[in-house]
Structure 1
Amino acid sequence: MLTREPTKELLQEYKSIWMQYKDQLRPNRKSGRELLDYLQQKYILTEIWDKEAADVVVLSVTKNQPYKEKLPVGMAPVPRTFFLENAGNGEVFYTSENKDPIDIWGGDITRIFIGIDLTTGYFTAEGSIMLWDEMYAFRGLDEEDLKNYVRVAQYILALKRFGLLQQTVF
């Protein structure tokens, strides 16, 4: 997950990763519903019934061309928003080594926000890069994503983080 403007060196590293793996990957992107089901089976989530929270997801999809392109014609985003509870399997994301650095959000993380669009599969996880990586590794990439070296590199790095690379590449 990029949290800062990437350096030329980082982009070069991403291009190198893409070149190494691009021909070994196949489209495997799961839907927003599948991603949500995965999270609900694994973690304790508290749904947020708040227009502002839903707007984070809707505006991310509709105002960013790469996400908007994944929106089928005539369809609208279907946002679902949650807090990941600091309980059960979710506790790991609240430890100091797995929370986002304080400078990203301007303070200590006390709640981790998850937003998912059921229509496009777009998601956000604010408060834990580790959780974002897990969601990205699970969701996978579609045909268009596989053409984007940044997306492929982030996916490969997320797979490596969770020991899933060997079962994903062909």
Structure 2
Amino acid sequence: MKKMPEEKINTDTQEISQQKVREWKSVYEKYRSTLNVNSKSTLELIEYLKQKYTLKEEASEEFNNVVINNIKLNKPFSKKIPSNKELKPIVFTIQNEGNAKTLCENQEEVYSACSIVVGMEFETGCVFVEGSSELTDEITVFKGLDEDDINNYYLVANYVRCLKKYNLID
């Protein structure tokens, strides 16, 4: 993925407060019983993005390795790797035209010099977005929750937050 300028990299990490964890768990308890497994496939997500934005496939090994490493080095994602299956990543940049102009114009300052990149993987269904929190939220709503995600209080709380943002749930 595109290298961010050195002055924009923040190496500080924040601990998640117990209050925030309690909030996520509270949202999970309130909404979990009303939600269903509704995850869309990687192909469905690609079609959705192609209908809405101009995509450019990035076939470099570097891009593909970023997606693969994000999955393999993240315990919840690595659990989704099917046995005896090779990971099949695909990466797109969102071109700054049409509907994407709004996304690009509203990028957070830290991403202002970066392209919006979407990395996906076919076997696990994992999706990564760099460069746009707005697109991250949009994809979260479209993609839905799989069997593992729906039992993760953080992922459910984040999904509900995104649904509320787009007025799709009370």
**Normalized against structure 1, the TM-score is what?**
0.85
Which residue of structure 1 lines up, in the alignment, with residue 155 of structure 2?
Answer: 151
Quote the RMSD (CA, aligned, Å): 1.7
Which residue of structure 1 lines up, in the alignment, with residue 129 of structure 2?
Answer: 125
Pick closer, same or farther for the CA change 1:5–1:129 going to 2, 3 Å.
farther
The one-letter code of the counterpart of 1:46 is K
* SS state at 1:114 partner: strand
Quote the sequence identity (%): 35
Aligned equivalents of 1:4, 1:109: Cα separation in 2: 24
| Residues 24-68 of structure 1 deviation map (CA, whole Å, 9 limit, x = unaligned) | 111111111111111112110111121111111111112222112
Aligned equivalents of 1:124, 1:4: Cα separation in 2: 20
The one-letter code of the counterpart of 2:46 is L
Q: Which of 160, 165, 170 is 2:169 aligned to?
A: 165
Structure 1 unaligned segments of length 5 or more: list them.
none
The one-letter code of the counterpart of 2:116 is I
Pick closer, same or farther for the CA change 1:15–1:109 going to 2, 3 Å.
farther
Q: Which of 23, 28, 31 is 1:21 aligned to?
A: 31
Which residue of structure 1 lines up, in the alignment, with residue 108 of structure 2?
Answer: 100
Please say if 1:113 is aligned against 2:121.
no
Give the 4+ runs in structure 1 shifted more than 4 A: none
Displacement after TM superposition at 1:118 (Å): 1.6
**Normalized against structure 2, the TM-score is what?**
0.85
Please say if 1:38 is aligned against 2:42.
no
Mean Cα displacement is larger for which, 72-81 or 123-132? 72-81
Mean Cα displacement is larger for which, 110-119 or 145-154? 110-119
* SS state at 1:66 partner: helix
Report if aligned partners of 1:30, 1:140 keep a CA contact under 8 Å in 2: yes
Pick closer, same or farther for the CA change 1:55–1:148 going to 2, 3 Å.
same
Alignment length (residue pairs):
158
The one-letter code of the counterpart of 2:114 is T
Please say if 1:84 is aligned against 2:94.
yes
Displacement after TM superposition at 1:109 (Å): 3.5
